[in-house]
Every structure is written in structure tokens, then in C-alpha cells.
Chains A and B, each alone.
Chain A
Amino acid sequence: MKTLLTLLAGATLALSAHGAGAQTLKAVKDRGELNCGVSRGLPGFSQPDAKGTWTGFDVDFCRAVAAAVLNDPAKVKFVPLSADDRFPALQNSAIDVLSRNSTWTLEREAKLNLLFGPITYYDGQGFLVPNSRKVLSALELDGSKVCVQSGTTAVGYTEDFFKTNTMKLELVTVPTSEEMVKAYEDGRCDTLTTDVSQLFALRLVMKKPADHIVLPDVISKEPLGPVVRQGDDQWFNIVKWTHYAMLNAEELGVTQANIEAALKSQKPDVKRLVGNEGNYGEQLGLTKDYAVRIVKAVGNYGEVYERNVGTGSKLAIPRGINQLWNLGGIQYAPPAR
């Protein structure tokens, strides 16, 4: 009897855990809208225009999830959040997913009961120098006067990097990024350092952007990606496979433009991606063609990257480390099978 009760209790627990676990997908479907937390305004990543239409790399991820879940990339309520508000908003269920250039760290997962990943954008601290210095590598920066924003982790990383590589460093700390550009243009320093994506944004506001170069070296790890609450594995899987569908689409050559042709492809990998073989989308709790809807809505990963932060944008950030694993980068999706 006791065993039976334990069994029953166990079964109930398992059921309720599963019930709780499946809540986000159901809640989003019932609501008919995805609540997506984004940055309040960051060029290339998330920005509203005058009419309130949001665009950007992080924004497109929200639209991709909405396309996969609700079959409509427009059914997203963008919730602009400050750095302080972003994790509480997730914890109190004000948003279903956070897509706000947030760095994945141990503490944020373990202490805040959140789940990060996949990494949609590998960022990290880099250096910007004038072309006239003829420097092509961060190891050639011996004796540089480096401008850095005070109170950021970049200060420590810079000191460590110069010390580790036995180079002389003169740090010039300034309070804001605007003043950092001014100090650099006034000649108070000959090198700028902050996250690479930020360096490209700062270069845009310089008098002659083409006269400066961002070095390819990255000296810190800033893995950025979407965040969800712990306890809903199905929803976490949907978020993960939204990104992986975009990566696999790029790797297989499936684009917004050729998606109709892809539906007729005889290649097994393409057939699985578009839902003509197997029922992989259904296994996620979606429909077979979820990846088709994602690509139709925002394009594959490369298209999203180039449109928002790459060759199609003013930022012009090279794919670099965010290139596919087989083309020089480290973006890698598990096989969709």
C-alpha cells in the first residue's frame, strides 16, 4: 500500500512537473503573442524605428520563435528592458524569452535559475587602431596608449592581456563610450578597447571610419544568446532548435529566396529540415514545417547576421568567429535528425 501510494505520488509529481513544464508553449499559443525581452536600443541588435517597428539581430530571433510557434513573425510583443530589469522580467514571467545581448555566465544560470543558450553571437573584447599604425595583430600593440571605459571588465582584461604577452601598456580610463571616441580622436590614446560589436558601432560615429581598423583578436569571452526560465524543457528545446534551424538552413544552402525550391529538394538533410521526411518539428511540440516558417520569416542565420550587423548593415562586422564551423568560424548546430 505504501509502495502504491509512493508510486501514485511519484506519478502525480511527474505529471504535474510535466504539466508545469509545458506551460510556456501553451501560454504563448493561448495568448496568440510571444512576449520577447529586448534591449531598449542597440544599433544592429534591437532598435525601434519612428513607427515603433523593431529591427535587429536579437529582434529577428524573437520573430523566428514567433514564426515557429505562432506561424506569424509579427505576433511578438517586444518588451524593452534595462540591464537591471532583464532577468527579473524573465523570473516573474513578464516575458517568455529574453533576447537581449546577454552574456552567458555560471552565476546567471545557477543563482538566477535561468537557462542560457544556444550562443547566437560570440562577442568578446577587441581593439581598434588607426590604419596608419600598420598594426594587424593585438600582439603588436607594445607601448600602446589604450582608451578604456572605467568601471567595466575591459579594464582588467586589458591589463591581463598586456601583462601576459609582455607588452608595455598605458591605460587611459574615460567614463563613457562617447568620451572614449573623443579621447581617441583627440590623440590622447592610439588604441580603443571594448567588445568587438561595440567597436564597430563606435567606428561609425568617428570622423573618418575607413581610417580605423578593428583587429581580429578577441581577448575575452562574451557569449550572447537567448535566455529562458528553468523548469520548462520543451520551451528550452524550442528556443534552441529555432537557432539550430537557422544555422542548419545556412549550412544546407537554404535561404529566404530559395525556400520554395528547398521544399522540392531530394537531399535527405534538406528534406528533414523542411519537414518532408520525418516528424522532427512535431517532436518539438510544433509542426513538421517549423524550420520553413522560420526561414520564410527572417532567413537563415547568415542572412540574419548580414542584414543586421554584417555586409548589409552600416556596422559591417565581419562574420569572423560567428561564421559556420566549416567556413572558418565556430557556429555549429547539432544535426536535425
Chain B
Amino acid sequence: MAFSLRILALTALVQAGALLFGTMAMAQYTPVPPRGIGAALDVGDQPGLVPPADDEVDMDPAYRRQPVYFRTSEPAGTIIISTNDRFLYLVEGNNRALRYGIGVGRDGFTWQGLVKVVRKAEWPDWTPPAEMIQRQPYLPRFMAGGPGNPMGARALYLGGTVYRIHGTNQPDTIGYAVSSGCFRLVNSEVIDLYNRVPVGTKVIVRQAVEL
């Protein structure tokens, strides 16, 4: 399940090892903390990483798309994102919703309220914003859409913000807050969501309560 994370940790170790000791025989990897409420993960974007096919198959069942009981006064078709417990709900009416597991941004994203889907794109290109380049200088300035692109298979652009709902090339970051990014779903599920919602869909973003 944590395949690409292991890869990342290994890569980092090997790089550090190569630098310091020439070679590195350590086969260890950073233990992955449990997912869920408040869970965060210290992992950067990995442009160019193509996730192994079984990564999505091994996905934690709690974060797979599933119909759930959901009571709301919002009309069917509305998307409600609960950043605190890492779920995106597509309201279906009659006290039910489709629930998708998501990964959320960790730094600085405290905005909450109502936006709309203003644009949809398949295999979107990626232009990391300046703040991200500053945090992760190794990122490319532009990357064309494709399987190794951190934007993943589909993107729903949220009007008036720099944020979007998109796919990922790191399926095992679902269930966590990660160092950057907006709302990420695994590719198979963002494709499913993309096919269900039109441009103009209402998106409500909820944040954790502040003390």
C-alpha cells in the first residue's frame, strides 16, 4: 500500500547516503502514521512518479468510494468537502451521499465556504505556483498532463481560488494532509466524480472547528 511512500523515503535515504557515505545499505522506510482525523504526512510532490497498478487496488477500504447515510439541507448534486476527516461527499438526496476519500493540503489552506466548479479538464497540465516552488525547489516550472503528473487524471477547477479537486500520482497520500496540493482523489475515483458533476456544481468546503 505504501509503495510510493517507501520509494520516496528510500530515494531520500539513498540520495543522502550517496552524498555522505558513498553507499547506503539501509532498506528501512519511514513508518506511515494512521490515516484519519487530523492525520498529516511529511511527503513532497513526486512529479514523474507513475504509481504501480496495484496501489489503488490496495487502497484502505475506509477511503474507497461508497454510498453513505448523509443528512443535509443542500440539494442533490452538491459537493461537500470535509477537510478535517478527509472525505468528499457528493449529495444524492434522500439522506444519502457518495463518499470519496481525499488527501488535503496541510499548509495555509484554511479557507472555507461556497465555490463553484468553473472548469473541468482531463489529464491536466501542471504549473506549480510560486509558493510551492519556494517550498519544494526541485519541482518543475511546468509539466504536461500524464500518468506521472501530480494533478492526476482529472481536475475540477474551483472558481475564484487557486484550488482544485484533482487526481494524484501518489494514491497512498489519501486520508492525510500532505505538504501541498488541494483536494486529491485516486485517479479512478476522480474520473468517477468528473463524470458525475457538471461545470457549475456547488462546492462547500468545511474546515475543522477552531478552538
Contacts and interface: CB of A to CB of B under 8 A. Distances in A.
A111 interface: no
Given A210-B64, A251-B209, A311-B60, A330 B71 contact: yes
Q: How would you classify the secondary structure of chain A's contact residues: helix, strand, loop or mixed?
A: loop
B82 A262 contact: no
Given A216-B96, A302-B85, A328-B97, A311 B63 contact: yes
Interface of A: 136-137, 209-210, 213-218, 251-255, 257-258, 261-262, 265, 267, 270, 302-303, 306, 310-312, 316, 318-321, 323, 327-330
A328 B211 contact: no
A318 B68 CA distance: 7
Nearest to A251: B209
Interface string B73-105: 000000010100110010000001111000000
A225 B60 CA distance: 29
Contacts of B211: 252-254, 258, 261-262, 265, 267, 270
Nearest to B58: A210
B72 interface: yes
B209 A137 contact: no
Interface stretch (B2-10, B15-23, B35-43): B35-43
B175 interface: yes
B34 interface: yes
Contacts of A209: 61
B66 A328 contact: no
B99 A318 contact: yes
Given A251-B209, A255-B38, A327-B82, 4 more contacts: A216-B69, A253-B211, A306-B37, A319-B85
B133 interface: no
Contacts of A328: 69-72, 80, 89, 97
Nearest to A122: B69
Contacts of A218: 69
Contacts of B131: none
Contacts of A136: 67, 98
B12 interface: no
A201 to B, nearest CB: 13
Nearest to A135: B67
B208 A253 contact: yes
A312 B34 contact: yes
A264 to B, nearest CB: 8
Contacts of A257: 38
A318 B69 CA distance: 9
A218 B36 CA distance: 25
A215 B209 CA distance: 30
Contacts of B99: 318
Of the listed residues A136, A252, A265, A327, the one surrounded by the most CB atoms of chain B closer than 10 A to its CB is: A327
B67 A137 contact: yes
A197 to B, nearest CB: 13
A224 B134 CA distance: 52
A215 B86 CA distance: 21
A227 to B, nearest CB: 25
A197 B206 CA distance: 27
A311 B62 contact: yes
A123 to B, nearest CB: 12
A316 B71 contact: no
Given A327-B82, A328-B97, A302 B60 contact: no
Contacts of B67: 136-137, 213, 215-216
A206 to B, nearest CB: 11
Contacts of A265: 211
B107 interface: no
Nearest to A212: B61
B36 A306 contact: yes
Contacts of A306: 36-37, 85
Contacts of B57: 210
Contacts of A258: 211
Contacts of B38: 255, 257
A226 B67 CA distance: 29
Contact of A320 (B68, B175, B206): B68
A254 B208 CA distance: 10
Contacts of A255: 37-38
Given A253-B209, A306-B37, A327-B82, A318 B71 contact: no
B112 to A, nearest CB: 13
A216 B68 contact: yes
Contacts of A302: 37, 85
A213 B67 CA distance: 9
B47 to A, nearest CB: 28
Nearest to B72: A328
